[in-house]
Structure 1
Amino acid sequence: MNSGSAGQIVILNGPPRSGKSSIVKNIDGPWINLGVDVYVREMTPSRYQPGIGVRPGGERPDLEPLIPVCYAALYESIAAHSRLGPNVVVDVGHHNSYARPVNILVECARRLLGLPVLFVGVRCSIEVIMERRRQGQVGRENVYLTGSNQGPVPAPVLAWQQEVHVPGIYDLEIDTSSASPQDCAATILQRLENSHEQPTAFEKLAASAYSK
């Protein structure tokens, strides 16, 4: 935690099963986790789930009026924590592929203006993601679309891969197909320690008129 100044914010953006949660667990120090899993699992009523975790494609128009409000509340909470001093790490899967695109990422970026934000793109090959989905099914309910070893990749999984990194403006990109969670966390912390490279991605997004 930073005494007397705003806490650092790190936002990890990537598709489900790309390894974001594992990276969060390996970031050393007192970081507050305000990611999508926490928000959906602990704060969103079951009748409104998956809430901000809804998949790309506009398949839940009934939930869409609530999603911008929930994202706004999440990012206001991130801002409040940072202003009080704690460092905050956030794992999310931003996309703009709703029945009615609403530029949520741009609005979220505007809510963090003036605060130190490192926006990290978490990439992972589709082959590794599918293997993680299949491994995650062992002894569990049908939480993840897994497909088969020989069959095509399910369309919602492909949609996540394509939509989550639009428009692709980041301060740092990491690939969990080739780097361990520990190495990814170390790369993020090293980037934060490099005072010569000031994060600017959220400033650029906040100033943009991006739309899908």
Structure 2
Amino acid sequence: MEHLDHVPARRGTVIFLNGTSSSGKSSIAGELLRILDEPYFHMPVDAFHAMRSRTPVPQDQLATVLHRTWQGFHRAVAGMAAAGNNVVVDHVLSAEWRLKDCLSLFVPQDVVLVKVHCDPAELERRERARGDRPAGLAGAQLEQVHAHGVYDLECDTGEATPQECAHRIKDFLGARVGPTAFEQLRATIGRRSL
């Protein structure tokens, strides 16, 4: 393998899958990695939570630890993209500060924001089938996750398979025009707090 002293600078594309727990984000991400023409990294927030040691966290410190984990995750994604890597982000924007943090860190022209959703009854069924999430978690996240309302693309995983959703996203990548959802959001909610 050839050693490179200089790698040409570029910015990576961020495919940002936002949806509740059990909405189908990871399944779509897996298909995207299989079909996209360039290398992409799948960076799910769950992987960052899984990296934390199993040392018990006192209840009064848990919110702080989780907040720092999310902040670190956002910065890791932004760093990968800034280094020229393409990234598929698997995220849950269930708190407004998370979106604002991402808006302040990511290059908005490089982000494709995808709404991943399905019928609430289907979310509940998937949650029960998984058995690894607290009952009602997805339902509790529903109101805030999509509250910002602006997306580049939408995938209803109750109506389309992960493969179909991934192909829609791939097709969209080749036909993108601005302003992106992140550009629009930065011009409205992002500017108020950035």
Q: In which range does the TM-score fall when normalised by the shorter chain? A: 0.7 to 0.9
How does the TM-score come out when normalised to structure 2?
A: 0.80
What is the number of residues matched between the two proteins? 180
C-alpha separation in 2, matches of 1:71 and 1:81: 15
C-alpha separation in 2, matches of 1:184 and 1:48: 39
Once the two structures are superposed, the pairs formed by residues 62-101 of structure 1 within 5 Å of their partners are 62-96=61-95
Kept in 1, the 8 Å contact 2:109–2:178? The answer is no
1:37 aligns to 2:46 (yes or no):
yes
Most deviating of 169-178 and 72-81: 72-81
Where 2:158 maps in the other structure, the secondary structure is coil
Where 1:63 maps in the other structure, the secondary structure is helix
Q: Which structure's residues are more often helix, by fraction?
A: 2
Kept in 1, the 8 Å contact 2:109–2:182? The answer is no
Deviation at 1:61, TM superposition (A): 6.4
Could you tell me which runs of 5 or more consecutive residues in structure 1 were left unpaired when the two chains were aligned. 50-59, 97-101, 138-142, 147-153
C-alpha separation in 1, matches of 2:107 and 2:70: 16
**1:118 and 1:144, CA in 2 relative to 1: closer, same or farther beyond 3 A?**
same
Q: Name 1:110's counterpart in structure 2.
A: 104
Deviation at 1:13, TM superposition (A): 0.6
Deviation at 1:199, TM superposition (A): 5.2
**Aligned with 1:198 (options 169, 175, 178):** 178
C-alpha separation in 2, matches of 1:13 and 1:64: 21
C-alpha separation in 1, matches of 2:62 and 2:148: 23
Could you tell me which runs of 5 or more consecutive residues in structure 2 were left unpaired when the two chains were aligned. 1-7
Identical aligned residues as a percent = 31
Where 1:26 maps in the other structure, the secondary structure is helix
**Aligned with 1:175 (options 137, 153, 156):** 156
